[in-house]
Amino acid sequence: MAKENYLSLRGQLRSDVTFARDPDTGEITRAMFPLLVLRRNIKDRNGYLAPKFDRPIISTSDPDMIKAAETLRHYDIVDVKGTFLTQHSKRNKQCPCCGAINVIESPIQIVNPVYIGVINDKFEDDTSGTNYLMKCAEISNIAKIIGRVCTPTEQIITGETERGELYCRYQLAVNRKLYVLDSIDEEDHADYPLVYSYGKTASDDSQVLQQNALIYVDGYVHTVVLDQEVECAECHNNFPIKTQRMNLTPYSNEYLRDFKGDVLESTHTKQEQEPPEQCEDTELQ
């Protein structure tokens, strides 16, 4: 199965880069930063400006990428090329009731960079960065990914957003190797982005997708912040935490193989469509 896991982002740094250091040597072991990026189609159906921003997190332990990240400054316009990476993570959260440290385990989704470069380091505020991004929305948030649907067919969810638009939700398994023979043992070498499609694409997805279907997503990364309640392991009170999730949303999908019936001649005609109206709470149900 051919591999495609390609993210290309141009955005503005709205904070400084965070570095993690080895406590013994002081050496930087990881660099992390959120990048403010803009989806293409900045106008709504009525022609009014309705820009939609996302904040994917770029995270790297690669020495060359850390070096590149060290040159970045707040407000810089930055190009990042990378891949969509999913991992399990553990975070320590202190219970506000009893003070106990709780270890929260959850999957995280980050951009694993292979290139980081500064495009413009002259900006001194948010506004100039936003204005700049409005001119390059077409290249600010690009995701092209080939993956197999790993959600069991009966759990592929379709529904309506609060605005009454159809959405479809499913998860992909995306191989990390360049060329991998189809195999059932890909768990250790794959990433698992969650996909939310909308409108016409969601309608098509709901009709033809099934578990194991191979699809090509031409879309963007879509970040949402979730408010969650967790139960303290010590005092059993619930307390709120915030988590960010990065999903994928297609502008269009191509159904490559093993979709329902697999009889459709082709869905390769691109369906250029308006950016979907997203409703961040309903889509996450």
Task: Give the binding site for Zn ion (CB under 5 A).
Answer: 95, 97-98, 100, 232, 234-235
Closer residue to Zn ion in complex, CB, 97/264: 97
197 with 222: CB under 8 angstroms?
no
At its nearest, how many Å lie between Zn ion and the CB of residue 104?
13
Closer residue to Zn ion in complex, CB, 105/185: 105
User: For 81, what's the count of Cα atoms within 13 Å in the CB-facing half-sphere?
Assistant: 4
At its nearest, how many Å lie between Zn ion and the CB of residue 237?
5
Residue type, 277: E
101 with 93: CB under 8 angstroms?
yes
37 with 78: CB under 8 angstroms?
no
| Token output for 136 | 């390059």
At its nearest, how many Å lie between Zn ion and the CB of residue 90?
18
Backbone angles phi, psi at 179, to 5 degrees: -135, 120
Closer residue to Zn ion in complex, CB, 100/119: 100
Closer residue to Zn ion in complex, CB, 93/245: 93
Residue type, 82: G
At its nearest, how many Å lie between Zn ion and the CB of residue 70?
38
Closer residue to Zn ion in complex, CB, 119/235: 235
Q: Which of 78, 75, 37 is nearest to 60 (CA)?
A: 78
Q: How far apart are CA 9 and CA 28, in angstroms?
A: 24
- Backbone dihedral region for residue 47 (phi beyond 0: left; psi -120 to 50: alpha; all else: beta): left
At its nearest, how many Å lie between Zn ion and the CB of residue 243?
19
Strands 101-120 and 141-149: unpaired
Closer residue to Zn ion in complex, CB, 7/232: 232
Closer residue to Zn ion in complex, CB, 103/181: 103
At its nearest, how many Å lie between Zn ion and the CB of residue 226?
21
At its nearest, how many Å lie between Zn ion and the CB of residue 106?
19
3-state secondary structure 35-75: EEEECCCCECCCCCECCCEECCEEEECCHHHHHHHHCCCCC
